[in-house]
A and B are shown apart, each in its own frame.
Chain A
């Protein structure tokens, strides 16, 4: 049921920017784009979310295309601790519907190497 498409794996050198793409061509006008990551043997961790404007926080930046059909998560200076599976998820804001469960795909496995 996932409505996003991500590459299965990517590599990135430590200290370089990691750019993780996500396609969500069927996204509707009121759906947000969320990113979570899952480090090995841990539960998923929230990173960032956005609707149509680019967003930045202490962890990452989110770039959403003007047509909102794709987005890119940017980790500006990847470290070895950023090695994880990154999930891109689209969802409707909680106040519009009763349930706000996250629908995960298989994500992108990012390997940061020294």
Chain B
């Protein structure tokens, strides 16, 4: 499978615990995005990377959230001291930017569903 892979698919954690999600983008894609989606809403942008550089962070990304993409390949999203309001689907997407054509199709993974109890 050469698509975007996210692990784990589901995570149940107790309030106050730390969790980490992993995203493996399509191998040649240099841009990687994290989104959060709650029930009945569209995905909300959290942050994105160009190679290993984190270039933009949404104000939704509180100081309990941290994302890394250390070698410009896979990325991790960590949530510290989880709260019940963190329960959501966390989606990762990747694109190939910097090509001559303006259109870049974003490929999404199937997401990690986090439930904080």
Contact = CB atoms under 8 A, between A and B. Distances in A.
Interface of A: 2, 32, 36, 41-46, 49, 85, 87, 93-96, 98-107
Interface stretch (B13-21, B40-48, B68-76, B78-86): B40-48
B48 A41 contact: no
Contacts of B102: 32, 93-96
Contacts, number: 65
A71 B30 CA distance: 31
Nearest to B92: A43
Given A43-B4, A43-B93, A94-B104, A103 B45 contact: yes
A105 B108 contact: no
Contacts of A106: 40-42
B43 to A, nearest CB: 5
Interface string B41-77: 1111100100000011000000000000000000000
Contact of B43 (A45, A99, A104): A104
Interface of B: 4, 31, 33, 35, 40-45, 48, 55-56, 91, 93, 95, 97-98, 102-111
Contact of B110 (A42, A87, A95): A42
A102 B45 contact: yes
Contact of B97 (A41, A44, A100, A107): A100
A94 B97 contact: yes
B99 to A, nearest CB: 8
Nearest to B113: A41
